[in-house]
Structure 1
Amino acid sequence: MHFPPDGMQIFDHDDRRFSCGYASGLIYFYGMWTEEKRVPVICNPKTGRSEKFKFIYPESLRELINYKGKLGVIYNDDFTDDAIELRVWVLEDVEKHEWTKYAYTLRGDKLFPHYASEVGVISTGEIMLSMADYTSKQPFYIDYFNPERNTIRRVEIQALALWEALSKCRELGLSRIRCESDSALLIKAIKAETSLAGLYGILADIQSLASSFECISFHWISRLRNAKLIS
């Protein structure tokens, strides 16, 4: 059985009984009916064992993450025009249900005030934040926040633009396509050489579209060359 990357919400529904998340090899059901009560349940799909939890998260239920090898919940709150508070709850003791809370204040013009969406935590320990409000007329960015260094780096992702281009090519009936992008990270993700949890859905759509062409290839080009081609 194959599961998506950590932090991905497998199925979202207004009724929490039908919603679940995945992290650290465990499936989390937000509100499962057991013994006529709706309670959180964590299940290990490899062993079939599950455990009911008697607690309620101190924050609204958000994305489930793997935080330094431990089960965690990530939550962000916009409280000013130029800053957000990022909160991470980490499960320290499964038996005692003990949690540790980490709170970080992120400031700067590189943030997405009022429309940031938490994605998860990557292997380097950086917390990913993506744009929750996006249109095809603007670039799509992901912010990587390093809690230990208190630094933020931004990466531009061109996945949606590529998806739109491939959709147009299929609409025109083209069968042989060569795709070029100056985003090395995007090309590696499409070729499955790296993982981008925050773009799991759109990458799956791109790969599905790619399978409809007779011949298709993806290549990285320098930003300078790309700018010359556009101009």
Structure 2
Amino acid sequence: MSKRVLATVALVALALMCIGLLWLDLPLARWVHDSGLAASPFMVGSIGVLDTIFGVKLSYWLASSICIVVGTALLVIFRNRPRYRLLGQTLASVALVQASTNLLMILGKNTFGRVRPVDLLASTDWSAMWFMGGGSFPSGHGAFYFGLLLPLAASTSRIWLRVLLLGIAVFVVLARINMERHYLSDVCASALIAACVALSLRALLQQFKATAVPAIATAQR
């Protein structure tokens, strides 16, 4: 996985999350609510199509489960064919990143209990946002799509494919803001979590290759 891609996404997500938490979350949510553009049919319909394609409607764990099964099968069956072995390693890494991101997302939702914009704006008390049993922070859709598509984008050298994969993830989180399901900081937090998990996994794999692989090769001589 490209360290540059992952680090760039992490820095941008961190900056936007801080801007959202410190200032922009509520003004943006109010603007979406008052603009008449909230929950546009295009955004809602597009999210429905993407959720169907990627299996979100069935389970948040379906994509990572498929990736780990296919990745492991490729590593076992084609262990002597570098091209398929690399694909297997990539899919296994994607599965680990997405599953870990989903777990951290669930932990965050249960910990912070942030009220969703649609519920907050319908109430009279805008100060009661955190620790109220809500499920806004961080974004579940953001965790799913960035957890899945970010490591894939960072694993390919094709620029157009990187743009496409990241574009889908960005579109999804923008749609969730439009649907008044999340604040800016919610979706950015999910992107940040995915990027940090991917960077951590990348560092662990590099450390493993630098230490364990030479040791195994020496022992086999």
**TM-score for the superposition, normalised by structure 1:** 0.26
Q: Which has the higher contact order (CA 8 A, sep 6+)?
A: 2
**TM-score for the superposition, normalised by structure 2:** 0.27
Name the one with the larger strand percent.
Answer: 1
Name the one with the larger helix percent.
Answer: 2
